[in-house]
Structure 1
Amino acid sequence: MKKISLLIWMALISSSLLAQRRGEEPRYDREKLEAAKIAYITQKLDISPDQAEQFWPLYNTFEDERRALLHQLRDISNEDKETLTDDKATQLINTKLELQQSLLDLEKSSIKKFSKVLQPKQVYLLQEADRDFVKHLYRMNRKRKIDEKR
């Protein structure tokens, strides 16, 4: 019953995740997206209320730091390639490697923190649940675009 109600709730959230703004591209409603992600991961990992109270602040901090590093990596990828010199390319390669190492270090330290709150199996399944949620968003977005074309 818990899984059925969660799936219904996820379907309702998913259908209203994209908010339309007049004259702009569709944007995700961040609050609804975060609520759906919390529900999805909580259900997939079977996180207890006591675990959730300790886990979600840790996870949110991890996600904020991860998002900032990924944003920096994206900025490097958006560098103007036509005016790129060899020296600048070398600098960008080194910066990119440093950021990737920072991502790995962040993940390692976060896993240690998560392991103090969650069971090892839950920590292991966390990455899979996070990845599955993103796949769900892509599928939902692709379906929305197909439906709009009809």
Structure 2
Amino acid sequence: MRKFILSLVFALIALPSFSQTVKDEVAIFQNAFGIEKRTLIENNMKVDESKAAEFWKLYETYENSRRAIGLKRIQNITKYAENYENFTPESINAIMKNALDVQKEMTSLWGSTYKKMSKVITPVEAAKFIQAEMYIENTIRQALLEQVPLIEELR
């Protein structure tokens, strides 16, 4: 887990020097976690060879869903940025509804993935996977939130 956290910290440190916008940051994260993330998971999960093929199939399904949810988040952040100067109660309600829906979708994905993985690997191993995913998700969210200005008072 220590190597995992250090790798994540290095990815975050490198992030500001390469990105100019939220979209750029997400592209870097998706590249880092779409490619290197599997290595991070491999190094931390130590899945038994007899279960590895089934585990990695579930992992790929999870990753495809996670990326789709991430794209919804980015679209919502983009809408936030485009409307920032002209928020209305209606536009902010739509943006907040989308943000909350994305979070629910992510939580639901974790729950369904945990349930499926618990049948393939042990519940402890499945929990370890979900815990790592939650850490990554929260790290990504934090990096994004630091780039998004708070809502000014609506007039």
- Tell me the SS of whatever aligns to 2:120: coil
Quote the Cα distance in structure 2 between the aligned partners of 1:33 and 1:101: 22
Letter in 2 for 1:43: N
- 1:102-142: CA deviations, max 9, x gaps? 1111111111111111111211211344547xx8xxxxxxx
- Tell me the SS of whatever aligns to 2:85: coil
- Please state if 1:41 is matched with 2:41: yes
Partner of residue 96, structure 1: 99
Change (3 A) 1:90 1:31: closer
Change (3 A) 1:45 1:99: same
Structure ranking higher in helix proportion:
2
Question: 5 Å matches for 1:90-129?
Answer: 90-129=93-132
Quote the Cα distance in structure 1 between the aligned partners of 2:91 and 2:67: 24
Change (3 A) 1:40 1:32: closer
- 1:4-61: CA deviations, max 9, x gaps? xxxxxx9xxxxxxxxxxxxxx9x86x59963x43343233222012211001111111
Partner of residue 71, structure 1: 71
Q: Normalising to structure 1: TM-score of the pair?
A: 0.59
Quote the Cα distance in structure 1 between the aligned partners of 2:122 and 2:38: 18
Quote the Cα distance in structure 2 between the aligned partners of 1:107 and 1:47: 19
Could you list the runs of 4 or more consecutive aligned residues of structure 1 that deviate by over 6 angstroms after TM superposition? none
- Please state if 1:85 is matched with 2:88: yes
Unaligned runs of 5+ in 2: 1-6, 8-23, 140-155
Quote the Cα distance in structure 1 between the aligned partners of 2:51 and 2:72: 32
Partner of residue 148, structure 2: none
Q: Normalising to structure 2: TM-score of the pair?
A: 0.58
Unaligned runs of 5+ in 1: 1-9, 11-24, 136-150
